Chain A
Amino acid sequence: MKSIHRFLLIVFFIASALTAFASDEHDKHAHHDTHKKEKFEPGNFIMDHIADAYDWHILSYKDKHVSVPLPVIVISEQSGFHMFMSSKFHHGHDAYKGFYIAQEGEFRGKVVEKIDGHEVRPFDISMTKNVVAMLISMIFLMWIFISVAKAYTRRKGQAPKGMQSLMEPLILFVRDEIAKPAIGEKKYEKYMPFLLTIFFFIWLNNLMGLVPLIPGGANVTGNITITMVLAVFTFIITTFSGNKNYWVHIFNTPGVPWWLKFPVPLMPLVELMGVFTKPFVLMVRLFANITAGHMIVLAFVSLIFIFGQISPMLGYGTSVISVLFVIFMDMLELLVALIQAYVFTLLSALYFGMATEEHH
C-alpha cells in the first residue's frame, strides 16, 4: 500500500515537473514568415482550444510559443514505427520524417503523411494533450483515494479527518443516492467501484478542464473518445450483468401485442437499438455539455480579439464585459461539472439496475 502511494506521488511530481519545465528552445528560430498580422478567426481559435493537440500549449507572445512537447507515436503504412517529441514539428510548421500536422482539410490538427500525393493518417497512438491530462488526472485520482483508503484503515472506527472527511460525503452520496436507489440494496455493491471511479474521474476532469493552466486546461471530458470509452465501459458492464429478465424484455417485450414481434420483429429491433443508444447518449451528453461550456467561454474571449482588431480601445472595453461573462460561465461550469458527473453515474447505475432487475 505504502509503496504504491509513494510511487504515485513520485509519478505525479515528475509529471508536474515535466509540465512545468515548459519552455521550448526551438522557439528561438520561430517562424519569421508569420510576422505579418494574421486575421483573427474565432472559429479556428475556439476549435484549437477545444480539440486535442500534440503539444501542451501554455502561451504565445508575438511569435514566441511556449508549450510542453509531448511524444508522438505513429505507425506508418510505409515507414513503420516512429516515436519522437512533438517539438520536432515546431508548433505545426515543420515536417519531420515525412509527418506533419495538417493545417487544413479533413485531418486538420492531426499528424498526417503524404502517400502518393494524398494526405493519409498513420496509425496514431501519440500521447496527446488529452491522453497526458487524462493520465495525470488518473494519477491524481489514485493518489487521493488510496490515501483516503489508508486513512480509513489507519484511523479505524474514528471520525473522518482531512481529505477523508471531504470525500466521505461524496462517496456516501454515490452509494446512497445513486447506487442504492437505482440498482437496489442487494446488488449495488458489485457496481460501486465502477460508479465511484467514473463519478470522480468525470468530476475531476471537468474541474481540471476549467483550470486554464497546466495540468488543467485540457478538454478531457469534452473529448468524444474519452466519453466514448466511459460509455463503452457502461455498455460492457450492462450487457454482461444482464439477467434473463433483461434479455426477455428486449427480445420478447411483455405487454406488447404479438403482431409487433412476429412476423416482423419490430419491438425487438427497437429494444435492441435502445441497448446501443443508451450508452451512445451517455457519450454525447457528457461530450456536448462540457464542450459547449468551453465553447461559450472561448467565444466570450474571442469577442475581445474581434473588437480589438477593429480598435484596441474597443477591445479593452469589451474585455471588461467578456471577463465578467466568463466568470459567470465558469461559475456555471463548476455546477455543470458536478451535475454531469452525477448524471453520467446515475444513468449508468440505472442501466445496471435495469439489467439486474428481477421479474415481478
Chain B
Amino acid sequence: MGLVTPELGTFIWMFLAFAIVLFILKKFAWKPILNALKEREESIEDALRSADRAKEEMAELQADNERILQEARKEREAMLKEAKEMSSKIVNEAKQKATQEADKLVESARANIESEKSAALNEIKAQVANLSVEIAEKILRQQFADDQQQKEYFKKLMDEVKLN
C-alpha cells in the first residue's frame, strides 16, 4: 500500500520546491519569454499590416500612374490631332496662297508676254515695212535702171488699173 499512500515528507519538499521553482521560472523565464513572443508576434502583425498598406498604396499609386498616363496619352493625341489640323490648315492656306500668287504671276506674265508679243509684232511689222520698202526701193532702182523697162512696167501697171 506504500505506493498509493502520500508521504508527508515528500509532500513538504515537493510543495516548497515547486512553489519556489514556479516563482523563479515565472519571474525569470516565462515572463520574458512570453513577452518576447508577444512582442514579436505584434511586430510581425504590424509588419504584415504595413506591408498590406504599402501594397494598397502601391496599387493606388499604380492606378494613379495609369490614370495620369492615360490622360497624358489623351492629351498627346489631342495635341497631335490639333497640330495635324493646324499644319494641314497652314499647308492648305499656303497652298491656296501659293496658287493665287502663282495664278497672279502667271496672269501678269501672260499680260507681259501679250504686251511684249504685240510690241514685238509691231516692231517686226515696222521692220518688215521698212525692209519691204527698202527692198522695193532696191528692186525698183534695179528694174527701172533702163527706160525701156520703166515704160513696160508702167504700161503694165496702167493696164491693171484699167481693168479695175
> Is the pair B14, A131 in contact by a Cβ cutoff of 8 Å?
yes
Contacts of B158 in A (CB 8 A): none
- How many Cβ-Cβ contacts under 8 Å join chain A to chain B? 129
Report the nearest B residue to A139, measured CB to CB.
B21
Contact partners of A145 in chain B: CB under 8 A:
25, 29-30, 33
Q: Choose among B1, B10, B17, B32 the residue that contacts A225 (Cβ–Cβ < 8 A).
A: B10
Asked if A348 is at the interface of the complex by the 8 Å CB criterion, the answer is no
How many positions in chain B have a CB within 8 Å of any CB in the partner chain? Answer: 34
Do residues B29 and A226 form an inter-chain contact, with CB atoms below 8 A? no
Segment 11-47 of B: residues with Cβ below 8 Å from A: 11-15, 17-18, 21-22, 24-26, 28-34, 36-37, 39-40, 43
Given the complex, which residues of A lie within 8 Å of B7, measured CB to CB?
A: 52, 124, 128, 225
Asked whether B13 lies within 8 Å of A127 as measured between CB atoms, the reply is yes
Q: Contacting B30 at CB < 8 Å: which of A123, A192, A228?
A: A192
Contact B17 A228 (CB under 8 A): no
| Interface flag for B5 (CB, 8 Å) | yes
> In the bound complex, do residue A171 and residue B5 qualify as a contact, i.e. CB atoms below 8 Å apart?
no
Contact B25 A197 (CB under 8 A): yes
Contact A124 B32 (CB under 8 A): no
- From A106, A141, A172, A228, B6 is in contact (CB under 8 Å) with A228
- Is the pair A130, B10 in contact by a Cβ cutoff of 8 Å? yes
Please, what's the 1-or-0 string for A49-91, where 1 marks a CB less than 8 Å from any CB in chain B? 0111000000000000000000001000000000000000000
The answer to the question of B4 belonging to the interface, with a C-beta cut-off of 8 Å to chain A, is yes
Most buried by B among A50, A107, A145: A145
Q: How far is the CB of A239 from chain B (nearest CB, A)?
A: 16
- B28 (CB) vs chain A CBs: closest residue: A146
Given A152-B36, A171-B37, A192-B30, are A225 and B21 neighbors across the interface (CB < 8 Å)?
A: no
A142 lies within 8 A of B24 (CB): yes
Q: Which of B26, B29, B36 has its CB near the most chain A CB atoms (within 10 A)?
A: B29
Q: Does B2 contact A110, Cβ atoms closer than 8 Å?
A: yes
Q: Which A residues are CB-close (under 8 A) to B161? A: none
A47, B3: Cβ atoms under 8 Å?
A: yes
> Taking A51-B2, A142-B25, A149-B29 as contacts, is the C-beta distance between A125 and B43 under 8 angstroms?
no
Q: Is B163 an interface position by the 8 A CB rule?
A: no
What residues make up the interface of B, taking CB atoms closer than 8 Å to A? 1-15, 17-18, 21-22, 24-26, 28-34, 36-37, 39-40, 43
8 contacts between A and B (CB under 8 A): A125-B12, A135-B13, A148-B33, A171-B34, A172-B37, A192-B30, A193-B30, A197-B21
Interchain residue pairs A-B with the least CB separation, the first 4: A145-B29, A152-B36, A193-B26, A125-B9
